[in-house]
A = this chain, B = another copy of it.
Amino acid sequence: MTPTSEITSSTAVPVPDSVQAVPAAAETVLREMFDVHRATTAQISPVVATLVDQLAAFTLNGGKRVRPTFAWSGYRCAGGRTDEAIARQALTVCTALELIQACALIHDDIIDRSDTRRGRPTVHRALEAQHVDRTWSGDAGHYGVSTAILLGDLALSWADDVVASRDLPAEIRDRVQPIWAAMRTEVLAGQLLDVIGEASGDESVDAAFRVMRYKTAGYTVARPLQLGSALAGADETLSEALGAVGDGLGIAFQLRDDLLGVFGDPAQTGKPSGDDLVAGKRTALLALGLQAADADDPAAAAELRSMIGRPLTDDELDRARAILRDAGAERAVEDHIDRLVAESFEALDAAAVDPSARTELVTVATAIAGRQR
């Protein structure tokens, strides 16, 4: 059998001295993890190691490391120590979130039939192209999807290996485990809800908020904050407060994204104008707009419905925006964002959080919200 390999916290990784330093530190940790996996899988077969290299390149290509950053912020909020050995173990666990995210993105890109991500071909498309280049036999598209499913599974398994590793003190594993378990179930449930909602044409505001909460807010902000705080031994009260802060901020970020997906300037967002409408994305903005228009202006509601999920001319796009604006949906979402952010920062103020860590979290949250504007 292949010798087992384990990920150990390396002494080469610098402990982040601020949340801004987390992305670079996390990337160093990821590189070390993939070095180990490359070596282990090369013993099974060099062709598998080559695919692992592609998984590594995908995981390391860009990405803002939002989840490790929030997790580290949660660690610091709960007074997590920065002496080297302990902080490195915490950083390793925070970084494992990027392996979950690699799986989520790879599988999501298959589900969304996306061709590109971060300016490069998605994993299943890149693997499909290799099949074509090598003039292999069979259906290249199906080969790409098949191998990408398996690479996503590997990333998910390796994330779990990090958190379960016996190189981490059992005390840390015990604190992390229930949050880690809940987070994975929630994000997968959120993805299922998203797929089901799109297929069933669920237009309800509730459904849109539920997907946001589980697929985005919990997974991206609330659970990472709680994970980090657990690493520092946070009590239940602080954990719950950080969960509430994270849910509020996470939903606010997503609502901001939803506004940009319809009203955003392509020059600033980097995405085509009205992208979400064309893609037929069931956002809260759209749900609110349809709900209000159904009550006040059924003809406009019908018109808006006819413009979901198909290519739109500039005039049609302008019309869709006007309907959402007239229905009060744009304003309602803006107000909701303001309220969520205010409540989140109030909740943060009320919690027993280290003051410098609080400032850092506000800075990070504002930077992430700002980047999306």
Residues of A near any B CB (own CB < 8 A): 1-6, 37, 40-41, 44-45, 47-48, 51, 103, 107, 110-111, 113, 131, 134, 136-138, 142-143, 145-147, 149-154, 156-158, 160-161, 163-166, 170, 173-174, 177-182, 184-186, 188-193, 195-196, 198-201, 210, 214, 218, 222-223, 226, 243, 247
- Given A156-B156, A193-B45, check contact A6 B198 (CB 8 Å): no
Q: How many copies does the complex hold?
A: 2
Of B138, B165, B190, which contacts A177 at CB under 8 A? B165
A40 to chain B, nearest CB (A): 6
CB-CB < 8 A to A222: which residues of B?
Answer: 1
The complex places the Cα of A160 from the Cα of B100 at a distance, in Å, of: 13
Cβ–Cβ contact A107 & B150, under 8 A:
yes
Determine if B113 and A195 form an interchain contact, defined as CB atoms under 8 angstroms apart.
Answer: no
Chain B residues lying within 8 Å of A186, measured Cβ to Cβ, are 1-2, 44
Instruction: Give the residues in chain B near A136, CB-CB below 8 Å.
Output: 199-201
Contact partners of A157 in chain B: CB under 8 A: 156, 160, 181, 184-185, 188
Flag if B44 contacts A189 (CB, 8 Å).
yes
A94 to chain B, nearest CB (A): 17
15 A-B pairs with C-beta separation under 8 A: A1-B218, A1-B223, A1-B243, A3-B182, A37-B185, A44-B210, A45-B189, A45-B193, A137-B200, A143-B199, A150-B188, A164-B180, A166-B174, A170-B170, A173-B173
Given contacts A4-B178, A179-B4, A243-B1, whether A153 and B188 have CB atoms under 8 Å apart is: yes
- The CA-CA distance from A222 to B189 in the complex, in Å, is 33
For the complex formed, measure the closest distance between the CB of A243 and the CB atoms of chain B, giving whole angstroms.
5
Kindly provide the distance from the CB of A174 to the nearest chain B CB, expressed in whole angstroms: 4
| CB within 8 Å for A192 and B1 given contacts A44-B186, A150-B107, A199-B138 | no
Q: Which of B5, B45, B146, B154 contacts A110 (CB 8 A)?
A: B146
Q: Which 10 A/B pairs are nearest by Cβ-Cβ distance? A: A170-B170, A4-B178, A160-B160, A164-B164, A4-B182, A111-B146, A136-B199, A166-B174, A157-B184, A161-B181
A162 CB to closest chain B CB, in angstroms? Answer: 10
Query: Which of chain B's residues has its CB closest to A52's CB?
Result: B189
> Which residues does chain B contribute within 8 Å of A3, judged by CB atoms?
182
For A201, the chain B residues whose CB sits under 8 A away are 136-137
Give the distance in Å from the alpha carbon of A215 to the alpha carbon of B157 in the complex: 16
A200: B residues at CB distance < 8 A: 134, 136-137
Contact A195:B164 (CB < 8 A) given known A1-B223, A4-B181, A136-B200: no
Q: Give chain B residues whose Cβ lies under 8 Å from the Cβ of A143.
A: 195, 199
**Smallest CB–CB gap between A230 and chain B, Å?**
11
Q: Which residues in B have their C-beta under 8 angstroms from that of A210?
A: 44-45
Expressed in whole angstroms, the minimum distance between the Cβ of A235 and any Cβ of chain B is 15
**A137 → B minimal CB distance (Å):** 6
Q: Which residues of B contact A192 (CB under 8 A)?
A: 47-48, 51, 147, 150-151
Centre residue among A2, A131, A190 by max chain B CB count within 10 A: A2
* Alpha-carbon distance A226/B223, docked complex (angstroms): 34
Q: Assuming the A-B contacts A173-B166, A177-B166, A185-B41, are A146 and B47 also in contact, with contact meaning beta carbons closer than 8 angstroms in the complex?
A: no
**Residue among A1, A218, A223 with the highest chain B CB neighbour number at 10 A:** A1
Residue of B nearest to A146 (CB): B111
